[in-house]
Amino acid sequence: MRALRVVGLHEDGKSIVCEDPARRERFLLPADERLRAAARGDITRLGQIEIELESQMRPREIQARIRAGESVEQVATSAGVPAQRVERFAYPVLLERSRTADLAQQAHPVREDGPDVRTLGEVVHYAFGVRGQDYTQAVWDSWKGDDGKWVVGLRWQAGRSDNAAHWAFSPGAHGGTVTALDEPAEDLLNPNAHRQPRTLRAVSEDAQPTLESSLEESGGSVTEAPIPDPQDDDTREIPRVPAEEPAEEPVDEAKPEPARAKGKKNHPIVPSWEDVLLGVRSQRG
Q: What is the pLDDT of residues 246-270, one digit of tens each?
A: 555 555 555 555 555 444 555 566 6
- Boundary of a domain, candidates 161, 189, 217: 189
pLDDT for position 206: 53
DSSP 264: G
Indicate if 181 and 217 belong to the same structural domain. Answer: no
Distance CA 55, CA 57 (A): 5
**Domain-embedded: residue 70:** yes
199, part of any domain: no
Identify the helix (H) or strand (E) that includes residue 72. Answer: helix 72-79
pLDDT category at 21 given cuts 50, 70, 90 is: confident
Structural domain including 55 reads: 32-94
Query: Is residue 137 predicted with pLDDT exceeding 80?
Result: yes
- Any domain includes 146: yes
**Mean pLDDT over residues 125-130, rounded?**
93
Q: Tell me, yes or no, whether 156 lies in a domain.
A: yes
CA angle 58, 63, 64 (to 5 degrees): 95
Which of 152, 157, 159, 200 has the alpha carbon at shortest distance from 179? 152
Tally of domains within the chain = 4
285 and 210 part of one domain: yes
Whether 58 is in a domain gets the answer yes
Same domain as 88, residue 68: yes
Whether residue 122 is contained in a domain is answered as yes
Nearest to 126 by CA among 141, 114, 116, 112: 116
Same domain, 90 and 124: no
Q: How far is CA 140 from CA 62, 68, 172, in A?
A: 22, 15, 20
Higher pLDDT: 97 or 115? It is 97
Contacts of 187 (CB under 8 A, 6+ apart): 127, 165, 193, 194
Residue 118 shares a structural domain with residue 136: yes
User: 284 with 217, same domain?
Assistant: yes
- The larger pLDDT score, comparing residue 50 to residue 93, is at 93
User: Is the same domain home to 127 and 78?
Assistant: no
- If asked whether residues 86 and 132 sit together in one domain, one would say no
Residue at 212 is within a domain? yes
Residue type, 265: K
Calpha distance 83→87 (Å, rounded): 6
Task: Give the whole-angstrom CA distance, residue 122 versus residue 38.
Answer: 52
C-alpha 81/C-alpha 54 separation (Å) is 7
Q: Which of 36, 38, 37, 17 is nearest to 28 (CA)?
A: 17
Q: Please state, as a whole number, how many other Cβ atoms lie within 10 Å of the Cβ of residue 231.
A: 6
| 22: confidence class by pLDDT, cuts 50, 70, 90 | confident
Residue 236 lies in a domain: no
Contact 175, 167 (CB under 8 A): no
